[in-house]
């Protein structure tokens, strides 16, 4: 961030989703423009369907970071369910136990101009702060080892592999102890 700029974090719950939907979609469209051009899974319509499914969960929570009037990034998630862990393969431990007490980080993204400033970590930590769950989970594309390594520096560990839907890429399933 530039000297004098102040990051403001705002918190949102499911009833706020209609009010912030456009902001979430705009950031996604910018961040995933290249991927969306090559792979329909990353298209804006496909993400919109996932976003609508995620925001309909009663435990959904979101944080949005702004600097001045600019939305610079966001993170959101919802509690995991048994179905989230049913198809995890190549597990190194009993992942069925993660269905209870795990908050699934569905999305975290920061606009290009704000990357490398610590905003992603700040958004993550703000979203996880005070969670009732004892663990957090996330998925990282297996073709993105640098992203996986970042999450490992944050304390996440790989526990298996998952392709959540047939048109999705293959992901590393990762877990972080929150306390």
The domain that holds 91 is classified in CATH as 3.40.630.30
Is residue 8 very low, low, confident or very high in pLDDT (cuts 50, 70, 90)? very high
Residue 154: CB partners within 8 Å, gap ≥ 6? Answer: 121, 124, 176
With a cut of 90, say whether residue 29 has pLDDT above it. yes
Residue 1 lies in a domain: no
Classified as helix, coil or strand, 136 is strand
Residue 135 lies in a domain: yes
Residue 119 lies in a domain: yes
Domain count, the chain: 1
What is the reported pLDDT for 94?
Answer: 84
What is the reported pLDDT for 49?
Answer: 96
Residue 16 lies in a domain: yes
List, for residues 92-104, the tens digit of each pLDDT value.
788 888 889 999 9
Residue 173 lies in a domain: yes
With a cut of 80, say whether residue 3 has pLDDT above it. no
Residue 57: CB partners within 8 Å, gap ≥ 6? Answer: 14, 78, 79
- Report d(CA 153, CA 173) in Å as an integer: 15
User: Mean pLDDT lowest for which of 73-77, 80-84, 148-152?
Assistant: 80-84
Residue 2 lies in a domain: no
CA distances from 32 to 27, 37, 137 (A): 8, 9, 21
| Containing structural domain, residue 86 | 7-177
Mean pLDDT (the chain, rounded): 94
Residue 67 lies in a domain: yes
Q: Which two tokens stand for residue 117?
A: 């400033």
Residue 132 lies in a domain: yes
Residue 86, CB-side half-sphere exposure with 13 Å CA sphere: 6
């Amino acid at each position: 961030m530039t000297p004098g700029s102040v990051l403001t974090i705002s918190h949102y719950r499911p009833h706020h989703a209609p009010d912030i939907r456009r902001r979430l979609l705009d950031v996604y469209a910018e961040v995933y423009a290249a991927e969306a051009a090559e792979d329909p899974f990353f298209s804006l319509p496909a993400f919109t369907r996932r976003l609508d499914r995620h925001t309909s969960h009663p435990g959904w929570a979101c944080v949005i970071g702004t600097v001045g009037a600019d939305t610079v990034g966001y993170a959101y998630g919802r509690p995991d369910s048994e179905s989230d862990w049913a198809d995890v393969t190549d597990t190194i431990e009993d992942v069925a136990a993660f269905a209870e007490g795990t908050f699934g980080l569905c999305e975290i993204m920061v606009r290009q101009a704000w990357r490398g400033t610590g905003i992603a970590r700040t958004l993550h930590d703000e979203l996880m702060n005070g969670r009732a769950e004892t663990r957090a989970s996330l998925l990282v594309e297996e073709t993105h080892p640098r992203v996986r390594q970042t999450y490992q520096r944050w304390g996440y560990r790989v526990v298996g592999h998952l392709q959540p839907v047939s048109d999705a890429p293959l992901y590393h399933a990762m877990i972080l102890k929150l306390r």
